[in-house]
Amino acid sequence: MENLSMYNVIDEVLKKYPFSPKDKEIVQVIKSGDFHFEGNEVMITNILYNLLRNSFNYLQSRTKRKPEIKITIESDDKGNKLIFRDVLFK
């Protein structure tokens, strides 16, 4: 187990993910805080890759609407959150 920064893990995943140029444009990271957690970097990286891959597969199958993937990192008095959301706009 390692002490990891969620923001740093997300940042590294986005640097290494094999995006197409079009795909990279639809990913937005919103950082309203950062948090540290005990975990395995390889495992959390695999989970995040899987979430990205699933989002792209879903969004690409619906080409008539504008896709967006939002990754939000929050940390406040109530706790820590990683929110991963894929959205289609008209």
pLDDT single digits (tens) 49-80: 999 999 988 887 766 678 899 999 999 999 99
CB atoms within 10 A of CB 57: 10
Nearest-angstrom CA–CA distance, 82 and 21: 25
How sure is the predictor about 28, in pLDDT bands with cuts at 50, 70 and 90? Answer: very high
Mean pLDDT over 17-35 rounds to 92
pLDDT single digits (tens) 34-52: 999 999 999 999 999 999 9
Nearest-angstrom CA–CA distance, 87 and 55: 9
Residue 24 has pLDDT above 70, yes or no: yes
What's the predicted TM-score (pTM) here? 0.88
Nearest-angstrom CA–CA distance, 82 and 7: 10
